[in-house]
Amino acid sequence: MPVTDFFAVAPPAAQPLSRPFIKMQGLRNHFVFLDCRLHPVPSPADIIRICDVHAGVGAEQVITIEPPRAANAAAFMGIHNIDGTVAQACGNATRCLAWLLFDETGQEELLIDSLGGPLQCRKEGPWDVSVTLGPITTDWARVPLARAVDTQHLPLASGALTDGVALSIGNPHAVFFVDQEIDIPALAPGIARDPLFPESVNVGVARVVDATTLQLAVWERPGMLTQACGTGACVAAYAGRLRGLLRGSDFTVHLPGGTLRIRLLDDGRAVMSGPVAFCCTGYV
């Protein structure tokens, strides 16, 4: 029985809440999945409650599985941040959603549609999934930025976070390369709320280990340090190669929650490969 059959299981009569959910995590970046092929997309207030571990099950994003909007897509993926706002891309959640759809359909390759565009997904192992995201761009208007600046050498700083690179892979990122320990919660908000970023920005802090390896941590929109950020890993590898700090096409990105493998394609897209894990089911 596919895990997603749970979405059709009625709650116990005494259950005060009626919405079935599946929770999964990718490198400890954790998500609540709701099937909106059967139920309406929840309100921002409900998203906030579900993400709040003191009021709901707790999650770093709520992912809504919606009917496909693009031809030959298995589903549309809605990405909802903890403040109820909508994001355009989420690498770790895409791997988890792909796993659920592989399990549901028996397929081992499929397309997921999203605001950031189509995402080709492939089952690499029982709990290992690759997703092709992008293309990545450093075009200021598409990050987006509020004005034209050199996106490869950003004119803003917050403490030791200087000389960053602005990119988009569907969602906005600013990547800073450092060679020292950084108090990210102290410094990253100064970047994220800078008026240069009209939609705010995910702030990646990267340290080069060698020509194909990074260490990375990301202060994600709307303002939280996550254990892993899939889109952040893709753009950090891209920015590192752009800066001449990395070489080749295949990279390893170590995040606090674990490691992702990133392959940069010639067309600007990135193939991100990594694990997924099942957490629990329940009702919210």
Ligand X SMILES: N[C@H](CCC[C@H](N)C(=O)O)C(=O)O
Site for ligand X, rule CB under 6 A: 29, 61, 79, 81, 87, 90-92, 171, 202, 220-221, 226, 229-231
229 is catalytic: yes
User: Which residues does 151 contact at the CB level (< 8 Å), separation at least 6?
Assistant: 138, 139, 140, 143, 145, 165, 166, 167
Q: Output the smallest distance, CB 32 to ligand X, in A.
A: 13
Q: Output the smallest distance, CB 103 to ligand X, in A.
A: 20
Nearer to ligand X, 229 or 264 (CB): 229
Residue 79 CB neighbour total at 10 angstroms: 23
Q: Which of 36, 90, 121, 234 is catalytic?
A: 90
Residue recorded with tokens 């990594």: 274
190: helix, strand or coil: helix
User: Which residues does 156 contact at the CB level (< 8 Å), separation at least 6?
Assistant: 164, 191, 194, 196
Q: Which of 82, 122, 85, 132 is nearest to 102 (CA)?
A: 122
Rounded to an integer, what distance in angstroms lies between the CA atom of residue 38 and that of residue 54?
Answer: 27
51 is catalytic: no
Nearer to ligand X, 217 or 229 (CB): 229
- The answer to the question of whether 92 is labelled as a binding residue is yes
- The answer to the question of whether 72 is labelled as a binding residue is no
Q: Output the smallest distance, CB 29 to ligand X, in A.
A: 5
Q: Which of 51, 96, 121, 229 is catalytic?
A: 229
Task: Indicate which residues carry an active-site annotation.
Answer: 90, 229
| Annotated binding-site members | 29, 61, 81, 91-92, 171, 202, 220-221, 230-231
